[in-house]
Amino acid sequence: MSARFSKRLQILSKGDNLACLTQIQHGIEKEGLRITPHLKLSQAAHPESLGSTLTHPYITTDYSEALLEFITPVYRDASDALGFLSELHTEALNNMADGEVVWASSMPAILEGDENIPVAYYGASNTGKMKHVYRLGLAHRYGKAMQTIAGIHYNFSLSEDFWPLMQQADGGNSLSAMDYQSAGYFATIRNFRRYAWLLSYLFGASPALDKSFLQEGHEHGLSELDENTLFLPWATSLRMSDLGYTSDAQSSLPICYNSLDNYVSSLWKAIRTPYADYEKIGKGPHGEYRQLNSNLLQIENEYYSTIRPKRVAQSGEKPVVALKERGVEYIEVRSLDINPLLPMGIDEQQSYFLDTFLLFCALQDSANMSDQECSDITENFTLSVQEGRKPGLQLKDGDRSRELTEWAAEVIEIMAPIAHLLDKANSTTAYSESLMLERDKVHNPSLTPSAIILAELQKGMSFREFSMKQSANHAEYFRSRALHPEREAYFRELAEQSVKEQACKEDADTLDFETFLQEYFASDDITV
């Protein structure tokens, strides 16, 4: 434990300073495929009774028309976010077609080729068309199968009072409050990337997948569990492996997390740089758009990463511009699998651990990353998702190799005083208890979700059968938790209002789509 880390802990524990640990902000985004009783993607449109996917604040779609996305409001208490997420599941299931369920796993159900993966539609407004065309671009660039993978995003921000305390612990400096906060979040992101292997080991829940996910002849290196299931014996998260969210084009992107300016400029360059392979995609036979542009990234969101710095953008504002102008507001953790053993894919215990882990990343020393360290971090993460439970697995820690479980135990030990502070601030023991539960997984890999799932599959149940069983159980769980009439009326009003808002957007458009895109991409030049 460094002197700086100790000093930061000491300042946080003094007097009223501890109160800032009661003001951590949380938001959860969870994706889930609508699946038919035949274990296939629903071909039906998003249920009209759930409202407009363009303008509904909490229920929308991600890539596919069949891929629901639930978005909670921001809460101080993560349990409140989880409570709202539970209501969203109930509301969605009560409005879906008979027999449809929300798929319980991150890796998809039976896929029957790209033609049977419907791309999400958002109406006739220019903003709706832009969202749709962006997704068409993803299909042409990466294929549709990858876009059916679902996950959980955990949005996290520390109190505005937290960062001045850290600046005080650092002895003060010449940075403005906004710049210090942004630098603090980027330090947090660097540490998150250094230790992300721990989260994949503890919470990875996709050690297997359905054969239909891979095209015939695709080189994958997976083992066959049964006629429909492929797996890796020590895998934790195939979702985060090179079978999932990866891109050869993006692998060479020099996106830098050493500072906000470097991050913004490198991401902005990728958005503005033409890419020969994407130029070949062209337009459709009748001039229809197949992508927003032929650049390396169509927009910022196309960059796949385990974590992102975020700032709520104003209407019409690009995310990268919002970051540049007003700094980092929160971080979005994107590497979490849906745990099919849990009704919502995540629970309170996991959120307590995540809060402790992210606060550890914020408090721990965080030097800038060299190219070599970036390479080592990538290799560590790859090993953890493909072989995380392998006995004796070695990771790189600077100039030495370390056994994953030994290193994991050490990190959790360092996190203990942070959990204690969170417990004290929030009058609970939940944070320390979450550490003890995760410490048990380190010493006993059979307790990890990936091991439990694989053990179930090895009893003779295919991935598709297991996932459908869990999906049906979860659907029954949520449907049994009837919403209060006031909550039903609240969600009905939200749905109706969202339909009206979409209609207003469509009526208000005065530009043709091509001009709209030209103006969107012509504005906001960034100089760093």
Q: How confident is the model at residue 193 (pLDDT cuts 50, 70, 90)?
A: very high
Q: How does DSSP assign 102-167, residue by residue?
A: E--SSS-SB---GGGSPBP---SSHHHHHHHHHHHHHHHHH-SGGGG---EEEEEE--TTHHHHHH
**Residue 528 domain flag:** no
**Residue 13 domain flag:** yes
pLDDT of residue 166: 92
pLDDT of residue 170: 84
What pLDDT digit, counting tens, does each position of 62-93 carry?
999 999 999 999 999 999 999 999 999 999 99
What pLDDT digit, counting tens, does each position of 280-291 carry?
999 998 899 999
Q: What is the mean pLDDT of residues 437-462?
A: 97
Q: What is the mean pLDDT of residues 158-182?
A: 90
Lowest mean pLDDT among 40-54, 304-318, 387-401: 304-318
Task: Indicate if the pLDDT at residue 444 is higher than 50.
Answer: yes
**Residue 438 domain flag:** yes
Task: Indicate if the pLDDT at residue 20 is higher than 90.
Answer: yes
Q: How confident is the model at residue 217 (pLDDT cuts 50, 70, 90)?
A: low
**Residue 275 domain flag:** yes
User: How far is residue 71's CA from residue 88's CA, in Å, rounded to a whole number?
Assistant: 8
**Residue 221 domain flag:** yes
Cβ-contact 350, 441 below 8 angstroms: no
pLDDT of residue 317: 85
Q: Give the tokens for residue 297.
A: 């990234």
Task: Indicate if the pLDDT at residue 244 is higher than 90.
Answer: no
pLDDT of residue 219: 74
**Residue 498 domain flag:** yes
pLDDT of residue 112: 95
Domain, as residue range, for 321:
3-522
Q: What is the mean pLDDT of residues 179-196?
A: 97
Whole-model pTM: value is 0.96
CATH of the domain at 443: 3.30.590.20
Q: What is the mean pLDDT of residues 455-481?
A: 96
**Residue 527 domain flag:** no
pLDDT of residue 528: 46
Q: Give the tokens for residue 159.
A: 């109190």
Task: Indicate if the pLDDT at residue 245 is higher than 60.
Answer: no
For the chain, percent of residues with pLDDT exceeding 70: 96
Among 181, 213, 431, 136, smallest CA distance to 309 is for 181
> How many domains does the chain fold into?
1
